[in-house]
Every structure is written in C-alpha cells, then in structure tokens.
Homo-oligomer: A and B are copies of this chain.
Amino acid sequence: MHKPVPGNSLKPACSTCNLRKLCLPVNLNSVEITRLDNLISRKGVYRQGSILYRSGDKFQALYAIRTGFFKTQILNEDGREQATGFQMAGEIIGLDGINSDAHTCDAVALEDSEVCEIPFSKLEDLSRELPSLQRHLHRILSREIVRDQNIMLLLGSMRAEERLATFLLNLSQRFAEGGYSPTSFQLRMTRQEIGSYLGLRLETVSRALSHLQDSKLIHMRNRSLEILCMSGLQACIGKRAR
C-alpha cells in the first residue's frame, strides 16, 4: 500500500479550463469561475492503491478527479465488500459524506491519480450566491442517485453476461465523454473488483468475458479491451428478461 504524495510537484493546476471541461461545466462568467477556482485549495497526487478517504473519515470536501481512476467500496460489518462505483477523470467523488458529515465508503486509487479538493462548506457558500452553480451541484447529486438506481436494476434483474455488457458499454460511453476511444481502452480494475461491483464472483466475470469474446463482441488481451460490435453488446442486454 502506497502513501498519498502531496502533489505540489505537478504544475497543471485545477484551473478554469479544466474545471469547465472536466469537473464543473457550469454556466459561469469568468469572474465567477475565478471565485470557484479559488475555492479549490489543496490538490493531491494519489499513487495506485492509496486511499483518498476511508469510511468513517470526517467529511469536509468533495474531490474532482483530474486524472486517473478510483473505485469506491463499502464494507459490511461481516466483512462483505461491495464496490459502489468506478470513477474516472472529470468525475466528482465524495457525495456520500454529506449526509452524516462522515464518509460511508472507501475511495481507492486504481492507478496514479490527481485530484482537486473542493471544501464543501465553501462550495455551499458560493452556491448560495451563484444559482447556476447551485443548480449544477443539485444535478450532480441527483445524477448519482439515478446512476445508483440503475445499478440496482442491474443487480436485481440482470444475468451475468448482461451485467458485463452493461458495464462495458457504460465504461465505453464515459471514455467517449472524456475524449478517449469508446472502442478500445484499458480496464483499470481486477476481475475480482468488477465482480464486486456487479455482484458476481471473479470466475463468473472471467467466464462471461470469455463468452463475449467467443461471440466476437469483444476482444480482450489481459486488461485491454476492444469492443468489436457495439450493437451486439447492446443486444445482449435484455435478451432474456426474467
């Protein structure tokens, strides 16, 4: 397990253009953007395997991922573990902590990553002054709710291969939104972590991926994925409703 490295060595600050493009694409004029930028005080580099926050940690800030990849997971009292999401550059992490002023999940870097810290009470202050920022924050919170409910649908009603197809298509879409190839990318997580997210054992994940490959819908070599037939992947979701 590595330790987080304070990231003052890396120069590209979480500046205006990045905020707009990645984290907070909100209709603000340049003065307002500057005020928002000024909130974002500390930045950090997190090495692969290091912890951004743990369940139980005091909640003080949201984090905008500038580069890299994280997972969030919750742990039961009985040691059960559930990955609740994988977050990539441009996404906001930490919303779970607002409710009780404490985080309820762990956030772990899956590769070396940079984050911007957004002190939440300052964000609240500013969003009282800027309606457009306020609205954006509300949308981010609501989007997370919608996303989680769609995962409930997946976990509650899809079979293993459908879950995998849904998962890969979702990653594909998000890579596309980030400006990367939607058909060819690296999986940053292990089969075990994918399984934890999809409610499957790692062997089932492996078998389902092999089957998708046998069907010529994807090509996998270790963790690099190529989607060969997007429509075929889409079609295999909901092939057999139950």
- The quantity of this chain's copies bound in the complex is 2
Cβ proximity bits A35-61 to B, threshold 8 Å, 1 near / 0 not? 000000000000000000000000000
Q: Which residues of A contact B (CB under 8 A)?
A: 74, 76-82, 84, 95-100, 104-105, 124, 127-129, 131, 134-135, 137-139, 141-146, 148-153, 155-158, 196-199, 237-238, 241-242
A156→B196 contact, CB < 8 A: yes
Select the residue from A146, A151, A241 with max chain B CB neighbours within 10 A.
A146
In the complex, chain B residues whose CB is within 8 Å of the CB of A152? 82, 84, 148, 151-152, 155
Q: A124-B131, A152-B152 are in contact. List 19 more A-B contacts (CB 8 A).
A: A74-B149, A76-B238, A78-B241, A80-B153, A80-B242, A82-B149, A84-B152, A96-B142, A98-B138, A99-B145, A99-B146, A104-B149, A127-B134, A128-B134, A137-B138, A138-B141, A152-B155, A156-B196, A156-B197
In the complex, chain B residues whose CB is within 8 Å of the CB of A238? 76-78, 80
B79→A149 contact, CB < 8 A: no
> What would be 14 A-B contacts, judged by CB atoms less than 8 Å apart?
A74-B150, A76-B238, A77-B238, A79-B241, A80-B153, A81-B157, A82-B149, A82-B152, A95-B145, A96-B142, A104-B146, A124-B131, A124-B135, A128-B128
A149→B241 contact, CB < 8 A: no
Select the residue from A79, A129, A148 with max chain B CB neighbours within 10 A.
A148
B99→A142 contact, CB < 8 A: yes
A76→B153 contact, CB < 8 A: yes
What CA separation (Å) do A77 and B95 show in the bound complex?
Answer: 29
Known: A80-B157, A84-B152, A241-B79. Contact between A139 and B196, CB under 8 A?
no
Known: A95-B145, A241-B79. Contact between A199 and B74, CB under 8 A?
no
